[in-house]
Each structure stands twice: as C-alpha cells, then as structure tokens.
C-alpha cells in the first residue's frame, strides 16, 4: 500500500493520511482522524495503531479526493528522529576520501524539522558554501524497538520511501550540515513493507536536471537494512514513524539555484524537488576548508567509469 500524508486546500492546518490511487487519494480520515499542528501526526498514529488488515478494510470504504484538491506533505511529517548512515557504500567512501565507513562512525541524527514534501523546494541557506544531493533509500520504523537482533530487525520495518539527505560540505558537525530546514525531502509516499520482500533487491538512481549522477543496487550497502536497523536500535529506542536513511552511493555533487533533483527507486514512486537559493546569506561558520574532501563539483557516471 502507498500511504501518504496530505492537507486539503480548505483546511491547510489539518494533516490527514490517505492511500495513493490513480489521480486520487483515498482519504483514511474515518480510520485515523485528522490532526492539528500540536497533535501527533495521523501517519504516526496510523503506524503505531493500525494493522495492514485494518488499513485495507478502511481503504476499500474510503472516499476518493482528486489529487488537485490536496497538498502533499512528507509521508511522516513529524518523526521523533531521523537516523542516518554516514558512509555506507564503498564507492562513496572512496569518492569522499574517507578513511572509515559506517562501522567506524555509527549513525548520526538529522533534525526532524528538516523534512520536506515531494514537489517542494529545498532552500540553500548560504551563497558561499557547497551543497550536495545524496539520494538514499529510507526505512520507516513500525514499532517501538530497542536492542533488536538483526534476524528480527525487519519486523520493525513498516515501509520504505525515497529520501534526499541534502548536505552542506565542510567541517561543521554532520548534524548541522544536514539539518537545515528543507534538507530532508521524502516521499511522495511510503510503501508498506509487505510490497517489498527484500530491500537489497532494489536499485536507486538520483538525477539532477535529468542527468544521472548516482546509480546503485541497495545490495551494495556496507551495513544492510537489517544490520543498520538493529544497530540503530542498540543506540536509541526506535519509535513508530522514525526514519532510518541508509546512506548514499558515489555520485554526490553540488546543486544550485534552479536545479531539479529526482530520486528513483524501483517499486517506489519517484521523489522530485527543486532547489532555490532565494534569500541565501553569507555563512557564519568557517568549516568550508575542513572535513571530508568531496569529488569535483559534479562527477557524472561516465566520468567515474
């Protein structure tokens, strides 16, 4: 099932959940009531409280709303946390000239307030710093979990979504460089785990202005999805709706005002966002010449092969 969060034009402050259908959204508000800005989002309540059978039953009775009547929101608009794998593909470790990967770094956090919907605008905060796209497969957690075994970790996975881990390059802390508002686009929807037997079978492509920069099989993750989920749960108690993003392959590169970025993962609907530098200022921190050394501004797939 393809689940999404949305608002309706006449009630822009009320979050709702629905199922993506052709040209329409099946509104699940009868099963999960809409929520205001101070409520736990309907998606988090759905993930924590509904079975797939209940969802399917509600979907079959749900009223359809035309997609032109809705505004899409991030699939989970209010995750309690976004955990991310720093270097989880060998080819990305090489291009960043990193001496260590995930097993030397663990996971880091991105601010939950950095989430952004499909079709929205990534806002670059500074004129004098480099910002890169990192296309990634993200996992949406389904249950409260602590210290789960890798063999049981997939039972904690509710679904999957494409995610962009937008990044400022430099020596500042990762939590700063990757947590600016709008720096975690996700969606358009999350696909429930029953539709993806094995995430390692998925492929991921990330393009900027139609040119492919990143292309990988998820099987090439250094820490697989179950290993990463198990590890993350040994550090922080996972809650329904938490996001774990699995890391990016080689091909990161600078993005600029006016760019269009697309993440395509087979079996999942595509994620598209645009980039704007409107209102950007001079960076107040001085990490520009420190930190991991990224590849030249843009490396195409052809140049790397």
216 belongs to the binding site for Mn ion (CB under 5 A) = no
Closest by CA to 256, choosing from 126, 137, 165, is: 126
Is there a contact between 28 and 60 (Cβ–Cβ < 8 Å)? no
**Contacting Mn ion (CB under 5 A), which of 95, 134, 172, 242?**
134
Region from 46-54, 205-213, 244-252, 294-302 binding Mn ion, contact rule CB under 5 A: 244-252
Q: Name the residue nearer to Mn ion (CB basis): 134 or 259.
A: 134
214 belongs to the binding site for Mn ion (CB under 5 A) = no
Region from 102-110, 150-158, 243-251, 255-263 binding Mn ion, contact rule CB under 5 A: 243-251
Q: Name the residue nearer to Mn ion (CB basis): 134 or 172.
A: 134
**Contacting Mn ion (CB under 5 A), which of 27, 78, 132, 165?**
165
**Contacting Mn ion (CB under 5 A), which of 5, 41, 248, 272?**
248
Instruction: Please give the distance of CA 22 from its chain centroid, rounded to a whole number.
Output: 23
Q: At 248, list the tokens.
A: 């990016």
242 belongs to the binding site for Mn ion (CB under 5 A) = no
Run of H or E including 261: strand 260-265
Q: At 150, list the tokens.
A: 């890798």
Residue with tokens 């530098």: 277
78 belongs to the binding site for Mn ion (CB under 5 A) = no
Region from 13-21, 91-99, 203-211, 240-248 binding Mn ion, contact rule CB under 5 A: 240-248
Task: Give exposure, 186-221, as e/b (b: 16+ Cβ within 10 Å).
Answer: bbbbbbbbeebeebeebebbbbbeeeebbbbebebb
95 belongs to the binding site for Mn ion (CB under 5 A) = no
Q: Name the residue nearer to Mn ion (CB basis): 165 or 262.
A: 165
Run of H or E including 59: helix 52-61
Q: Residue with CB nearest Mn ion?
A: 165
SS3 state at 230: helix
Is there a contact between 101 and 88 (Cβ–Cβ < 8 Å)? yes
From the CA atom positions of the chain, what is the Rg in Å? Answer: 19
Region from 9-17, 89-97, 139-147, 164-172 binding Mn ion, contact rule CB under 5 A: 164-172
Q: Name the residue nearer to Mn ion (CB basis): 78 or 134.
A: 134
Region from 2-10, 126-134, 206-214, 273-281 binding Mn ion, contact rule CB under 5 A: 126-134
In angstroms, how far is the first alpha carbon of the chain from the final one? 37
Which residues of the chain form contacts with Mn ion (CB under 5 A)? 134, 165, 248
């Amino acid at each position: 099932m393809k689940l999404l969060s949305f608002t309706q034009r006449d009630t822009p402050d009320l979050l709702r959940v629905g199922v993506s259908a052709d040209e329409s959204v099946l509104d699940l508000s009868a099963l999960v009531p809409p929520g205001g800005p101070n409520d736990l989002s309907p998606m988090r309540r759905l993930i924590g409280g509904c079975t797939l059978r209940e969802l399917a039953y509600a979907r079959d009775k749900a009223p359809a709303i035309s997609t032109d009547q809705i505004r899409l929101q991030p699939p989970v608009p209010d995750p309690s946390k976004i955990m991310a794998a720093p270097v989880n593909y060998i080819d990305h470790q090489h291009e960043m000239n990193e001496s260590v990967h995930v097993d030397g770094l663990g996971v880091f956090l991105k601010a939950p307030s950095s989430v952004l919907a499909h079709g929205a605008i990534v806002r670059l905060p500074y004129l004098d710093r480099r910002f890169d796209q990192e296309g990634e497969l993200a996992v949406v957690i389904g249950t409260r979990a602590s210290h789960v075994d890798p063999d049981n970790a997939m039972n904690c996975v509710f679904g999957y979504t494409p995610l962009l881990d937008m990044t400022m390059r430099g020596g500042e802390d990762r939590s700063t460089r990757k947590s600016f508002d709008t720096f975690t686009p996700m969606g358009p929807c999350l696909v429930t785990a029953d539709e993806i037997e094995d995430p390692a079978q998925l492929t991921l492509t990330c393009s900027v202005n139609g040119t492919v920069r990143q292309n990988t099989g998820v099987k090439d993750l250094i820490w697989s999805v179950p290993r990463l989920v198990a590890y993350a749960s040994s550090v922080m108690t996972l809650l329904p709706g938490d996001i774990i993003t699995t890391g990016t392959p080689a091909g990161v590169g600078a993005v600029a005002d006016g760019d269009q970025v697309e993440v395509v993962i087979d079996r999942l609907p595509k994620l598209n966002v645009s980039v704007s530098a409107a209102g950007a200022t001079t960076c107040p921190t001085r990490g520009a010449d420190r930190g991991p050394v990224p590849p030249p501004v843009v490396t195409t797939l052809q140049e790397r092969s």
